[in-house]
Amino acid sequence: ETQLEVLRVVPCPFFGKLSELRLWPVTGRRQQLRKHCAIELGAAIVNEEPAMFEASAPAWALRHDGAALPPWKKRGAGRLFLQAVQIDVPRLNLNHPCDGSADAARGSKVATTTTTTTTTTTVRADVSEHFTELLQNAERCWDWQRDNCMADFPNHN
């Protein structure tokens, strides 16, 4: 299960629109966010590997009146446009099994300890500038195409 918030949508000459999303994996498996975007939304992450991009074709067709998925296109340096910006990690208190003290556990040779979760530690990173650059470039390219009637993008008038 993944929760989703749409932060921004801009026009894009290749795919019609680019969306900046905030995604929260509620329950998780490997590549869950990538699979949910591609297979469930029909909106593969920018620079997604070609096989995952192609897996988005059925959902894309449903959302676009049966239209075929546009061809895969590498953007920028080719890095996947996915970034973890915050993670909340349980803070563990290690208690010695005999007296419950955390200090005793550090020097103890006893193999059994108990753990309790009392609070979480939040680690946060700034959002990379390449997300903003991609969205700004898509908007500029869209405006330029529209203003100059570019034939390179025949399905995006």
Between CA 109 and CA 115, with CA 113 as vertex, the angle to 5 degrees is 145
- Spatial CA neighbour of 67 closest among 42, 50, 39: 42
Residue that is written with structure tokens 């500038």 in the block: 129
Query: What would the two tokens of residue 54 be?
Result: 């192609």
- Region 133-137 average pLDDT: 81
Give per-residue pLDDT as tens, 16-58.
888 888 888 888 787 888 999 899 888 888 888 888 899 999 9
SS3 17: strand
| Distance from C-alpha of 63 to C-alpha of 19, rounded to nearest angstrom | 15
Q: What is the pLDDT of residue 64?
A: 86
SS3 103: helix
* Paired residues of 90 in beta bridges: 120
Q: What is the average pLDDT score of the chain? A: 75
pTM, rounded to two decimals? 0.62
Spans of all domains in the chain:
2-83, 86-121
More confident residue, 103 or 18: 18
Residue 105 reports pLDDT greater than 60 = no
